[in-house]
Amino acid sequence: MTATSAGLVGILALFILLVLRIPVAFAMFVVGFFGIWTLNGLNAATSLLASEAFTLGSSPELVVIPLFILMGNVASATGMSRQLYDAAYAVIGSVKGGLASATVIGCGGFAALSGSSVASALTMGKVALGEMERYNYDPRLSTGVVAAGGTLGILIPPSTGFVIYAILTEQSIGRLFLAGVFPGLLLLSLFVLAVTVLCYLRPEYGPAGPKTSLGEKVRAVSRAGPIVGIIVLTIGGIYGGLFSPVEAAAVGAGAVIAIGFFSKTLGVKALWLAAKDSVVTSATVMLILIAAHLINPFLALSHIPTAVGGFVDALNLSATSVLLLILLVYIVLGCFLEGFAMLVLTLPIFFPIIVELGIDPIWFGVMVVLALEMGLISPPVGLNVFIVKSIAPNVSLGQIFSGVALFWVMMLVTLFIIVLFPQIALFLPTTMFG
């Protein structure tokens, strides 16, 4: 068996294991270990397994993952996510579709704390779905907006998607975080615009909520002040050069815990549960990263990235055409594969091509993460759709997928805008880092 044939067999085996619902990390461990064993011997496989686990486990930049996850979990436990939603609701909840728009804004705010799409959808779903049901919102809109709004967690920094992309491609986490700010705000704005237009055309989808006085608006916004301040402190601190992403994560986590204790909304038990959940999530991400560093050498030994690069060169396409083709592959794969698995499987193949074509890797990272975001609401997998289904059991999957369709289109529009105007993603990292 040639090296390339072994690589193709390994990729096929990985797809089969993922379809069989084997956990992503374990599937990659098996394929990577046995692939290296086949191509380079047992000693090489065992040595690489030991060295990569230690190297990644002792990498200081990875501290950003558990700290940002802890910050999001504590914010959820203290009710800060509810405060974000209440503030948005008080300001715009009285217009048609206002509750849905407030949900999108709340998701965006919580995304800037948790960095997790699943956490955003789950938390904001528990907060907002009951309110929208109470005001007779169409279940397709209410569930669709939660599922789609939750995906902002993978794009608006801090984002675990950006962290994993940075580790796999050896890019700057700070530059990627900054690159995600404007695209994230653009997508959030398009979501709100979509809700507004839909409810203008179909008023029964999102009836207006009760009006609030100016005093009620001010009080609701002021209650959300501490959490907004933490978001500004962490992201603004990175942009202003006050601290690195790791330091920003530590400052943010510490500030959320301190506010929780001083406001008496966080007890020792709640902190322990938040920390425990953070450890479990962080361990899952770490296992995926370690497994990725077994898959990557296996693919390199199989010469598949070189073969794909040669095939693309033979097509004689422009750099833009190749980029669009790669993004199309990500969009299609998003219908079947979990996001982290897609990154691990495709980046060793596509990233060398991107570098050779002279495409900015930070710009490419934003587009890849946005494509992964689309996969979170794409049938038949659509992880966020199933998360929302778990907290809205009376709404069918068909209705939820119908509800997210409009927002999926808005994601596609955002992706094309970023392709046409790279500076939307590159402005902040360029001005910050030069």
What stretches of 41-63 show up as alpha helix (H) in DSSP? Answer: 42-57
Give one DSSP letter per residue of 369-407, joined into a string. Answer: HHHHHHHTTSTTT-HHHHHHHHH-TTS-HHHHHHHHHHH
Which residues lie below 8 Å from residue 300, measured CB to CB, with a gap of 6+? 348
Helix (H) or strand (E) holding 430: helix 423-433
* Sequence letter at residue 390: S
Quote the pLDDT of residue 193. 93
Q: What residue segments make up the domains of the chain, in order of their start?
A: 62-433
pLDDT value for 366: 96
CA 348 from centroid of its chain's CA atoms: 20
Smallest CA-to-CA distance from 263 within 126, 120, 78 is with: 78
DSSP per residue, 134-169: HTT--HHHHHHHHHHHHGGGGTSSS-HHHHHHHHHH
Tokens at 389, concatenated: 């289904």
Which among 274, 227, 229, 251 has a CA at the least distance from the CA of 81?
Answer: 227
Strands (E), 243-311: none
Cα separations (Å) of 53 from 25, 170, 286? 13, 17, 9
**pLDDT in 10s for each residue of the chain, 434 residues:** 688 888 888 888 887 887 787 877 788 888 888 988 888 888 888 888 888 777 777 777 778 778 888 887 888 788 777 787 788 878 877 788 888 888 888 888 877 777 677 777 877 787 788 878 888 899 999 999 999 988 888 888 878 889 889 988 989 888 998 899 999 999 999 999 999 999 989 988 988 777 888 888 888 888 888 888 887 888 788 777 788 778 888 888 898 899 888 888 888 898 999 899 888 878 877 787 787 777 778 877 887 777 777 777 777 888 899 999 999 989 888 887 777 778 877 888 899 889 988 999 999 999 999 998 898 888 876 778 888 888 888 888 889 999 999 999 999 999 999 999 999 999 988 887 65
Q: What is the pLDDT of residue 67?
A: 84
Of the candidates 332, 336, 293, which has an alpha carbon nearest to the alpha carbon of residue 20? 336
Question: Are residues 137 and 399 in contact, defined by beta-carbon separation less than 8 angstroms?
Answer: no
Q: At what angle do helices 139-150 and 181-201 cross, to 10 degrees?
A: 170
What's the one-letter identity of residue 295? I
